[in-house]
Amino acid sequence: MSNLYRSFVSGFCSHDNIQVAGSGTGPLAGLTFGVKDIIDVAGQTTGAGNPDWYKSHAPAPRHATAVQRLLDAGASMVGKTITEEFAYGLIGENYHYGTPVNPKVAGGVSGGSSSGSASVVASKQADFALGTDTGGSVRVPASFCGLYGIRPSHGRVSLDGIMPLAPSLDTCGWFARDASLLRTIGSVLLDESLAVPPQRVLLAEDAFELADPEVRAALQSAIRRVEDRFGEVEVVRPSEMAGLPGYDVWQSVIQVIRGSEAAASHLAWMRESDAAMGPGFRDRFEAGGAYTAAQISDAMSKRAMVEDYLAGLLAGDAVMLVPGAPRAAPPGGANEAVYDDLRTRNELYNCAAPLARLPQVSLPLGETPDGPVGLGVIAGHGNDEMLLDLAVALTD
């Protein structure tokens, strides 16, 4: 059994019940939202999923830019949501605060690290919620909980007032239960540009090969729906790119970049404070701090190759289909081997968008015997509106 597992709880943080009324007018008037607890809300200490951090830091002096935009657009904030510690996780279990419930899968985790945000939206405790995505922390919870979710292009949504994990990979995304609301939130958080429909649809065959057979079967109807709307898919195998073949190589690149940047962000505080952390969490930061300058330089060079390759592949308004996650939500308290398998398979192919700074949506269009699964759609950098419009088009 997972040594992190604690009983299922509400996705809202138990150490505060802060609520903030919105302006009451605007495109989000009358709607409610939750905020992942690495995102600042004025007057509230940003807890980062760790009690020692929460106790040793002062309340935020102002709202994060993304929160302020949502309030100004009329929505009201109804609570901070549980995150895995320092947003460094994929499962959704928090050793200190519990495991946010997944209402779509009895006994299943909601996915991390934006576990609470996905949970409160799926449970209809909020209309939408903010999360962050560094290596999958919006896309995987959205897939597990049957939600729409987006990881925007790096740089499209302000990270002002959001605690960093790995700054060159971090993004602020959001969850909703319907595509039209996902799109409306985009109109508030993005400085919008003209969107055009995709002109080509690619299917990453090698990414689907990493998913469970049940996931591949469940997403066939979704793929056909995309083809009916946007044209026949073209099969591609990104892992076979010239000069840097193999998703295992891509995975090693994101591990070095994320680990080294995470260590730079937080390891000094962890060592100085000797904070109590869930099993294995500090180890991730310590491992990141052990990478050498040569290893980091090599990873950055390889990242540039992946970024250039995917920019070319997705040029001309193309999109690429991948599984939102490689499996449905595993049970809470599962053996660590189950979670390690999920982490590995997800990271092998879902590292593509973070490495290349690309937007990716998860669309709740599949259902396996073990729960919902999302269809992931990746677009070229800056084509976030294309993905949001695609999500709406596929609900027509």
Residues identified as active-site: 36, 113, 137
Separation of alpha carbons 17 and 20, rounded Å: 10
**Hey, what domains does the chain have and what are their CATH numbers?**
8-189 (3.90.1300.10), 200-393 (3.90.1300.10)
Beta strands (DSSP E) in the chain are 8-9, 32-36, 76-81, 99-100, 128-133, 148-151, 171-176, 200-204, 234-236, 318-323, 360-368, 371-379
Position 191 scores a pLDDT of 83
In 29-147, alpha helices (H): 51-56, 65-72, 115-122, 139-145
> What pLDDT digit, counting tens, does each position of 46-70 carry?
999 999 999 999 999 999 999 999 9
Residue 1 has pLDDT above 70, yes or no: no
Kindly report, residue by residue over 344-384, the tens digit of the pLDDT.
999 999 999 999 999 999 999 999 999 999 999 999 999 99
Strand partners, 79: 34
**Considering the chain, what percentage of its residues have pLDDT values greater than 90?**
95
* Minimum mean pLDDT range among 131-140, 184-193, 372-381: 184-193
If DSSP codes are grouped into helix, strand and coil, which group holds residue 194?
coil
For residue range 353-364, what is the model confidence (pLDDT) as tens digits? Answer: 999 999 999 999
SS3 8: strand
